[in-house]
Amino acid sequence: MATIAIIDDDIYIGDMLTELLQKNGYAVLRAYSGTEALYLLEHERPDLVLLDLMLPGLSGEEVLPHLDGVPVIILSAKSETKGKIDLLLAGAADYITKPFDNGELLARIAVQLRQKLARAGEMLTVGALQLDTAAHSVNAGGTPVHLTKTEYAILKLLMQHPGQALAKSTILERISLDTPDCTEASLKQHVSNLRKKLRDASGCDPIEAVWGIGFRLADES
């Protein structure tokens, strides 16, 4: 049974969505503010999130970066095209304007869950690096590399964006659910340890420090 988190301060809409989802075989989690959503996500890992934008505390836009790896469907009364585009580029999987048709919402949820299932067990390959997301294993030049949870999360993120310089703040936001103890002060050391392990395994270091920004993984494809 897939679990869907509803993050919306409107009790009426939340109750309606809960009833709709439960009738269609989904388990439901609820949060009524951005702050409560972050607390919920520290303890639960839903399969999909329905996210309102106008939330008390942290806004939906502020919550979105903490949902990396989880499909997010925005449910909002805001209908401006630019806002929709910005949120989709920021990581939202879909955007539905309120009021919405229940059948369409269920169809879009099914599509996102189907796509997530298809991505499970994805093999990431960049140059001599291979990362198996199902087995949580890494190979460099055919040699297994044993990484800590934080090192693995950093490498996975960099491999998902080869050739792209990622800011330190972006890295911290994207890996925060898996490694909440990683800080800006410790990030540099984690990356240094990761680079050493990759050098020891393959004789090369594909991770580059980008001055004034953060880090990038050389795209050798």
Q: Average pLDDT, stretch 196-204? A: 92
- What CATH number corresponds to the domain at position 186? 1.10.10.10
180 and 130 in a common domain = yes
Picking from 119, 135, 152, the residue at the C-terminal end of a domain is 119
Q: Average pLDDT, stretch 177-199? A: 89
103 and 154 in a common domain = no
Picking from 101, 119, 137, the residue at the C-terminal end of a domain is 119
Average pLDDT of the chain, as a whole number: 90
Confidence (pLDDT) at 155: 95
* Structure-block tokens of residue 108: 């879009």
Confidence (pLDDT) at 137: 87
167 and 72 in a common domain = no
Residues 134-148 have pLDDT tens digits of: 778 899 988 999 999
DSSP string, the chain: --EEEEE-S-HHHHHHHHHHHHHTT-EEEEESSHHHHHHHHHH---SEEEE-SS-SSS-HHHHGGGGTTS-EEEEES---HHHHHHHHHTT-SEEEESS--HHHHHHHHHHHHHHHHHHTTPEEEETTEEEETTTTEEEETTEEE---HHHHHHHHHHHHSTT--EEHHHHHHHHTTT-TT--HHHHHHHHHHHHHHHHHHHS---EEEETTTEEEE----
155 and 97 in a common domain = no
Residues 99-132 have pLDDT tens digits of: 999 999 999 999 898 877 766 667 888 988 999 8
51 and 34 in a common domain = yes
20 and 84 in a common domain = yes
Sorting pLDDT into bands at 50, 70 and 90, what band is 49? very high
106 and 142 in a common domain = no
Q: Average pLDDT, stretch 86-110? A: 93
For residue 183, what are the domain limits?
Answer: 123-217
29 and 96 in a common domain = yes
- Predicted TM-score (pTM) of the model is 0.56
Q: Judge whether residue 221 has pLDDT over 60.
A: no
204 and 131 in a common domain = yes
Considering its fold, how many domains does the chain have in total? 2
Percent of all residues in the chain with a pLDDT value above 90, rounded to a whole number: 62
Percent of all residues in the chain with a pLDDT value above 70, rounded to a whole number: 97
175 and 133 in a common domain = yes
141 and 93 in a common domain = no
Residues 14-43 have pLDDT tens digits of: 999 999 999 999 999 999 999 999 999 888
Q: Identify residue 129 by its one-letter amino acid code.
A: L
Picking from 59, 87, 119, the residue at the C-terminal end of a domain is 119
Q: Please, what is the end-to-end C-alpha distance for the chain in angstroms?
A: 38
Confidence (pLDDT) at 121: 61
Confidence (pLDDT) at 220: 66
- With CA atoms as reference, report the closest residue to 143 among 199, 105, 94: 199
Confidence (pLDDT) at 118: 64
148 and 167 in a common domain = yes
